[in-house]
Amino acid sequence: MKIGEKYKGTITGIKPYGAFVLLENGTTGLIHISEIKTGYIDNIYKTLSVGEEVLVQVVDYDEFSQKASLSMRTLEEEKHHFPHRHRFSNSRYKIGFKPFVEELPIWIREAKVFLKQQKHN
C-alpha cells in the first residue's frame, strides 16, 4: 500500500471524529472528518453511513500497525479545478529578503538610540 493509491472500501463505523473503512485489500483505515469533503461538516452521521461504499485515497500508511489514513476530499478536489484566489501581497515581485537587508541597519540604529534613552530615564 502506497500513499496516493486509490481504493474502494466499505464504511464499518462512524465516530464524531471520522469514519472507519475496510478497504478491498483487507486493510482498515480512518477517514478523518476533515478529509471527508471540502468545507465544514456539521454532522458526520448525516454525511456518511455504515455500509456505504466509498472511494478513498491513501494519505498515510503505518506499516507497523497496517492502518491507513484515508481521504475522500483529495479525490473531490481532483475532479474540480479550484481557481487560484488572488492574494493581496507582493509575492509576485520575487524580492525575497532584500527589503529587510536594506532596512536592518536603520532598525538597529533606532533600537540603540531607544535603549540608550531608556537607560538614562
Per residue in 108-117, pLDDT tens? 999 999 999 9
pLDDT at res. 66: 83
pLDDT at res. 9: 92
pLDDT at res. 65: 84
CATH superfamily of 6-79: Nucleic acid-binding proteins (2.40.50.140)
The three-class DSSP label of residue 11 is: strand
Per residue in 73-114, pLDDT tens? 888 876 666 555 555 555 566 666 777 888 899 999 999 999
Domain spans in the chain, listed from the N-terminal domain onward: 6-79, 92-120
pLDDT at res. 20: 95
pLDDT at res. 19: 93
C-alpha cell at 106: 536603520
pLDDT at res. 116: 92
Q: Beta strands 53-62 and 28-32: pairing type?
A: unpaired
The percentage of the chain sitting over the pLDDT mark of 70, rounded to a whole number, equals: 83
pLDDT at res. 64: 86
How far is residue 82's CA from residue 109's CA, in Å, rounded to a whole number? 47
Report the predicted TM-score, pTM, of the whole model to 2 decimal places.
0.61
Give 37 or 84, the one with higher predicted confidence: 37
